[in-house]
Each structure stands twice: as C-alpha cells, then as structure tokens.
Chain A
Amino acid sequence: MRNLIAKLALAAAVLGGGLGTAAAETANIWVRADGSNFMPRIVDAYNKAHTNQVKLDIIPNAEIIPKYGAAAAGGTAPDALSLDLIYTPSFAAAGQLEDITDWAKSLPYFTSLSPAHVKTGTYKDHIYGLPFSADASVLIWNKKLFKQAGLDPEKGPVSWAEIAADAEKVNALGGNIKGFYFSGNCGGCNIFTFTPLIWASGGDILSEDGSKATLDSPQLRGAIDLYRSMVKKDLVPAGAQTDTGANFFAAFAAGNIGISPSGAFAIGALNTQYPDIDYGVTFLPGKDSGWSSFAGGDNFVVTKGTTKLPVVKEFLDFAYSLEGQTILAKYGSLPVRGDIAKEALKDLDPRYQVAAEAMAKGKTPYSVVFNDLINSANGPWTQMINEVFFGDDVDGAIANAQETMQSIIDQAPQK
C-alpha cells in the first residue's frame, strides 16, 4: 500500500514536472548512414544543452529515400531529415518539404552558408533546404610511394599531365603497386571526382539549371583521354573496371596506390582507421592549371506540415554555432559556415584546410532527376563512364549518353 502511494506521488511529481516544462518538445530527425559518425555527437550535445529534445534515427544510405517516401505517405515521416543535397530539388518538386525561405534569410550568417548547398536547396526561388554536412572532392597521393619512385613526396600533381606522369613513375615500382585508382563502374563516385577535372578546365556536363545535358565537350573528351591513357598503360588495377564503388576508398587505404581522386571524408577515415598511410591532399586540377571540386554532403530539410518547426530551427541554429561546426568537423564533416570554418578547423589535421577551401569554391550539378541521370547504377552517366574509360567506342558512348540524359530530363515531371 505504501508502495502504491509512493508510486502515485511519483506519478504526480512527474506530471507536475511535465506541466512545468510543457514547452519541451521532441523532434524526430533522420540521417543517412554516411552521417552516423558526426550526427549522434551533435544531437547529444544539443540535447544536453536544451530543454527541447531531438530523437535521431540512422537509416542505411540506399534505403533512406524509399523509407522516407513510404513514411510520408503513411503520415509517419520524421519532422526533419539530413538529406543528400542532390535530392533536395526532387523532394521539393514533389511538394514534400516545408518552405523555409523567410527563416533562412533571417539568419545573420545566411550569406556565408555553403553556396552549393543553398543552390541545391532552392527550388523555384524558394528555399527548402539548408546546408548541414559537407564533403568536397580532392586528390590524394601516397607520400611513401612517391618517395620510393623518386618524386617529391610533398608535391602533389597540379595538372593532368603531372597526374599521368606521377602515376606512371609510381607504377614502375612494380609488384602490387599501381599508379592510379578510380571506381570505373560507379556513377556517384565519378560525378564526385571526375567532373571536377572537367569543371576546372571550363566545361560542364549539365546546363546551369539542369535543363540541358551538355556532355559532348572538348573538356570531357580531354579528361576521358587522361583516364583512358592510364588504363591503357596498365597504371590502374584491373578491378577498377567493375568497381561499383565498394573500393572507392578501400583501394587507396590498402597502401599500394600512388594517386586517387577521393573526398574530404577520406582524411578522417585514413587518420582513424589507417594511421600508417602517409598521404597528401590537393585539389582536383584542370588540364593545365586551375582546380575544382564537387561540393557534396547533406542539406537539412523539414517535412511539410510538421508541428515541431521551432525545435528543428533551434537544432539547426545550434549546428551552425561555432560549437556545432567544431563537432561536425571533428567527426568527419567539413564546416558549412564559411565565416567560421577556419576557426572550427583550427585544432584539426591541417589537410582539412585544403578540403575546406575546395568546399567553399565547390560546385554541385542541379537536377530534379539527378538519381536517374547520374547515381543510378544503370543510368546513362554510369554506363557512359564505363564505356569511355574501358570500351572502344568513345564517340558512340558519349552520343548515346547525351541522348538518354536529355530524354530523361525532358520526361521529368514538370510542375
């Protein structure tokens, strides 16, 4: 009996406490598995410092889109999610996202937010997504192998000719050692690391608004020739031809690849998982000079009609604070606020500075059918890169991809 009374008292206390902080709410947020390192940390930090709470679910990369679609149809979608930025236009086009234009523009640091993210987060002049995490593509080289091959280990290649020459020298070491690696059957990997070569030389594969495919350019052909020549000279392991992305990072991490295009994520991953690899980070160069980068990462988007908007805004505000940006940087994402990026990175591996600079000037193609065009393992981009790097009919492959991409763009739902 006494026990019961005690329980009742406790229940009353809980109720009372609950009433006292009636404002405290919990928002549900999803993130793809790529964010499984930094996201729980920043959510923890937020929850400790605020009365409102965030509940986080981590969803496998390949499943987050279908799962979110199903949840939205069933009315159980999370209040917000951290979404691969390239999907923002198609989600916005589907009418799934809350328009956050006014709030976004009221942020004092709005203009220093990663421009590539804001661009993909904007659909028909309204803002539906804001930058959350960032990853930029860069070129990494193995300093130990460079030294063995008689190259300056502190100097990465700054033009296509240098990439080819350095890769050939490293390759000459023989044995298991190969000069260059790329995932030759992975559309997502190559939009990330191959198109910057084209951009840096002044070309592009899509028009600015994503309405035209512009594949057939001298810049694209030049970059293809670079890769083809390295494949022909046997500087690339045979497995590259069928690598759908599984070895995108692992090949270089094994320590017998001279040069590989990669992403900022590799810095964190190499430092923590492969501390023995001595590597350098530089920009993905243009043909003779210049450089470019693919600005990737996640946009933060809000599900249309959510009642937890204040919590979501508070959380995002926290993520944009110096504390939030530092947590992100420490656990594998680049900062997304340009004005405090240097400060957030100041105690970290100096190689992050290169990646942060790449991010700031990074570019992201804009399309509501990005998945169909580029990422799909059976899409025109993936098919083309495999054909042009390893096949015999470069002209036919480019023409075919150009036509298929344009027809996919033309058939996309217009709203």
Chain B
Amino acid sequence: MSSITTAATPAPPRARKVASRQQWIGLLYVAPAVALVVVFFLIPLGMTAWMSLHNWPLMGEHSFIGLGNYVAILRDIRFWNALRFTGYYTVIVTIAIFVVAFPLALFVERPRPLTNLYRTMFFMPAVVGFASASLLWSWLLNVDSGLFSPAAYDLGLIDRKFNLLATFQPAFWSIIVMVVWKVAGFTMIILMAGLQSIPQDLQEAAVIDGAGPFARFRAITLPLMRRTLALALILSVAGSILAFDQFYIILRGGPRNQTLTAVYWIFNQSFVSFKLGYGAALSMVLLVVLVALSLVQLWLLRKPEGLD
C-alpha cells in the first residue's frame, strides 16, 4: 500500500529517502521467509512442472514429451478411481471430524472445573505424528495380536476373531475412527478460539430478546464463526485430500486396492514404477484440484454482504 502512495504523490526528497529505507528494512525482515518459500516451495514446484513434461525414469535418460504425461493421465482409470476414493474419504472424514470436534469445542470453551485437563486430553493425539499414530493403530487393529478383535473375542462378544482390515467397510471406518481420534482435538482448539472471540454481550442481548439456545447458535454463533469455520474446513479438506500415511501403513491400499488415495497413486507411480515424470504430472493435477477446492470453500464462506 505504502509503495502506491509514495509513487502517486511526489513526496519531499527527504521523506522519500526515509520511506525507501523503511521499505528496504521491511524487505530485510521478510527476506528469510521469502528465501524459505523460494527454496523449498517455488523452485521445487517449478522443477515438478518441468519434470511433468518429460518421460523421466528414476534411472537412465529423460526425454521431453510435452504434454504426453497429461494425455496419459486422462486415460489412467486407476488414478481417477483413486481421486474418487480420495474425494469420498475427504467428505466422510471432514463431516466426522466436525461432528466430534464441535461438541468438544462447546464443551471445553467455558471455564469449568478441570477444563484444562479436558482440553489437554482431547488435544493430546494431535501432537503424535500421522505415521506413528498409524503404526499404533495398525497394532490395535491387528486381528491376532492387537486389541479390539482379541479383546472382543476374550470377552465373549464374538465367537470368532473378526479381521477388521480384511474387507472394505470395517477397514475404511477403522481408518475414519483413527483419523478422528487423531485430528478432532486440533480442530476443537481452532473452533474453541472462534467461539471465544464471539462477544459475550451479543449472546446476552439475544437471551434478553428471548432467543433460545438453538436460535442463538444458528443466528449468532455460526455466522460469527465463518472465518474460523473456513480455516478449520480448509485445513481438514486439504489434509484429507493429501492423505497417505494411514492408508499406506495400516492398509497398504487394501483390501484389494480399494483404499488407494491420490497421493498413494502418485507415490506408486514415482517410486514403485519409477516413473518420476508421470508422478510429477499427477502431482500437478492434484495441486490444481486442491487449489480449486480451496477457492470454492473460501468463496462459499466469504463475508456476506452488509456484514461488518
């Protein structure tokens, strides 16, 4: 903003000097961040785009093939299947996370005895890495030496050990439960911050006007949490579309390749089939999908006209 003003109105030389020095100092401050973004994001992104235009095997010579990889993607049914599964998973897991996280946020928002203990407890799984959490659950879910199935068997609830990971539905829902356990605490904290930012007097005024708890939630809490909801939603959707660890570690894409996600497919193409160029092209497609989805979400949750 300041650059536009300085350029538009010719300032006295001295002031201009100060202003430009301030700009330099400002640049200096953001330089480390810019350097990080350039080195670890922009350059790799450019390289990915460049590689996606090549037939680039892991070993041996690579050759330029223009849009050949992208044409191949159009015919790659297994990628589209993986993308469809990823979409299905994203919808289910996002709903599941919010259904669990919102009540938790309402529960821990107000100070009450032991609130801090509850907050810590609910948040705890979020500090575990996805890979370690997956390893833990892969043991819990194991039919012979794990917890759930053997425990149910020993308690006499089932007469034959049930392999949770052997068929699609139980395997898929086991993953959903695991992800909700792992992520809901984090979403809860974001939502809680949003809830706490709603001025108390608005709620009180509504109570005086005779609004019930549900009406208050719908007319005050939800609209004022738009930004928070947008943040939580985008984080959850982006995280779910990039899901990989849990499906790789617990299910290996099984049972029978029914839980191959888009990133899993990219990994397979790049490092199992050694087609780095094709993997790069798939990554670019996924990037476009992800950016588009995020824009749609931002648009849906934009500030309604006339509000603040």
Identify the closest chain B residue to A391 (Cβ): B256
Complex contacts, A241 vs chain B, CB 8 Å: 163, 166
| CA of A241 to CA of B274, assembled, Å | 28
Complex contacts, A73 vs chain B, CB 8 Å: 58-59
Task: Decide: B274 and A69 in contact? CB cutoff 8 A.
Answer: yes
Complex contacts, A91 vs chain B, CB 8 Å: 59
Question: A148 an interface residue at 8 Å Cβ cutoff?
Answer: no
Interface digits, A235-276 against B, CB 8 Å rule (1 contact, 0 not)?
001110110100000000000000000000000000000000
Question: B203 an interface residue at 8 Å Cβ cutoff?
Answer: no
Complex contacts, A69 vs chain B, CB 8 Å: 58-59, 274
Task: Decide: A244 and B143 in contact? CB cutoff 8 A.
Answer: no
Q: Shortest Cβ distance from A381 into chain B, in angstroms?
A: 12
Q: Which residue in B144, B264, B273 is a CB contact (below 8 Å) of A239?
A: B144
| CA of A387 to CA of B160, assembled, Å | 21
| CA of A123 to CA of B47, assembled, Å | 33
| CA of A369 to CA of B275, assembled, Å | 12
Question: A354 an interface residue at 8 Å Cβ cutoff?
Answer: no
Interface digits, B64-82 against A, CB 8 Å rule (1 contact, 0 not)?
0000000000000000000
Identify the closest chain B residue to A69 (Cβ): B58
Q: Shortest Cβ distance from B159 into chain A, in angstroms?
A: 12
Q: Which residue in B57, B145, B252 is a CB contact (below 8 Å) of A413?
A: B57
Question: Secondary structure of the B side of the interface?
Answer: loop
| CA of A391 to CA of B256, assembled, Å | 10
Chain A interface size, as a band, is 20 to 34
Complex contacts, B253 vs chain A, CB 8 Å: 377-378
Question: B165 an interface residue at 8 Å Cβ cutoff?
Answer: yes
Identify the closest chain B residue to A369 (Cβ): B273
Identify the closest chain A residue to B153 (Cβ): A238
Question: A165 an interface residue at 8 Å Cβ cutoff?
Answer: no
Q: Shortest Cβ distance from A99 into chain B, in angstroms?
A: 15
Task: Decide: A242 and B143 in contact? CB cutoff 8 A.
Answer: yes
- Interface residues in A83-115 by Cβ distance below 8 A to B read 90-91, 94-96
Q: Shortest Cβ distance from A46 into chain B, in angstroms?
A: 27
Identify the closest chain A residue to B251 (Cβ): A242
If A239-B163, A378-B257, A390-B166 touch, whether A96 touches B60 (CB-CB below 8 Å) is yes
Question: A174 an interface residue at 8 Å Cβ cutoff?
Answer: no
Q: Which residue in A237, A372, A387, A413 is a CB contact (below 8 Å) of B144?
A: A237
| CA of A241 to CA of B143, assembled, Å | 10
Complex contacts, A96 vs chain B, CB 8 Å: 59-60
Question: B93 an interface residue at 8 Å Cβ cutoff?
Answer: no
Question: A371 an interface residue at 8 Å Cβ cutoff?
Answer: yes
Question: B260 an interface residue at 8 Å Cβ cutoff?
Answer: yes
| CA of A73 to CA of B56, assembled, Å | 11
Task: Decide: B273 and A94 in contact? CB cutoff 8 A.
Answer: no
Task: Decide: B142 and A239 in contact? CB cutoff 8 A.
Answer: yes
Interface digits, A149-186 against B, CB 8 Å rule (1 contact, 0 not)?
00000000000000000000000000000000000010
Task: Decide: B166 and A242 in contact? CB cutoff 8 A.
Answer: yes
Q: Shortest Cβ distance from B131 into chain A, in angstroms?
A: 14
Q: Shortest Cβ distance from B164 into chain A, in angstroms?
A: 9
Question: A75 an interface residue at 8 Å Cβ cutoff?
Answer: no
Q: Shortest Cβ distance from A234 into chain B, in angstroms?
A: 9
| CA of A68 to CA of B274, assembled, Å | 12
| CA of A369 to CA of B165, assembled, Å | 29
Q: Which residue in A66, A244, A383 is a CB contact (below 8 Å) of B256?
A: A383
Q: Shortest Cβ distance from A180 into chain B, in angstroms?
A: 14
Question: B268 an interface residue at 8 Å Cβ cutoff?
Answer: yes
Task: Decide: A94 and B57 in contact? CB cutoff 8 A.
Answer: yes
Task: Decide: B163 and A378 in contact? CB cutoff 8 A.
Answer: no
Q: Shortest Cβ distance from B121 into chain A, in angstroms?
A: 31
Task: Decide: B260 and A378 in contact? CB cutoff 8 A.
Answer: yes
Complex contacts, A399 vs chain B, CB 8 Å: none
If A95-B60, A242-B166 touch, whether A387 touches B256 (CB-CB below 8 Å) is yes
Complex contacts, A386 vs chain B, CB 8 Å: 254-256
Task: Decide: B60 and A94 in contact? CB cutoff 8 A.
Answer: yes
Task: Decide: B256 and A372 in contact? CB cutoff 8 A.
Answer: no
Task: Decide: B144 and A72 in contact? CB cutoff 8 A.
Answer: no
Question: A376 an interface residue at 8 Å Cβ cutoff?
Answer: yes
Task: Decide: A376 and B272 in contact? CB cutoff 8 A.
Answer: yes
Question: A59 an interface residue at 8 Å Cβ cutoff?
Answer: no
Task: Decide: A238 and B163 in contact? CB cutoff 8 A.
Answer: yes
Q: Shortest Cβ distance from A176 into chain B, in angstroms?
A: 9
Identify the closest chain B residue to A185 (Cβ): B254
Q: Which residue in B143, B160, B274 is a CB contact (below 8 Å) of A65?
A: B274
| CA of A387 to CA of B167, assembled, Å | 11
Which A-B residue pairs are the 3 nearest by beta carbons?
A69-B58, A94-B60, A239-B144
26 example contacts (A-B, Cβ-Cβ < 8 A) are as follows A69-B58, A69-B59, A69-B274, A70-B58, A72-B59, A73-B58, A73-B59, A90-B274, A91-B59, A95-B60, A95-B61, A185-B254, A185-B255, A241-B163, A242-B255, A244-B252, A371-B272, A372-B273, A378-B252, A378-B253, A378-B268, A378-B272, A379-B272, A383-B257, A386-B256, A390-B166
13 additional contacts (CB under 8 A) given A377-B254, A378-B253: A72-B59, A73-B58, A90-B274, A95-B61, A238-B166, A239-B143, A241-B166, A242-B254, A242-B255, A378-B260, A379-B272, A386-B254, A390-B166
B interface, CB within 8 angstroms of A: 57-61, 142-145, 160-163, 165-166, 252-257, 260, 264, 268, 271-274
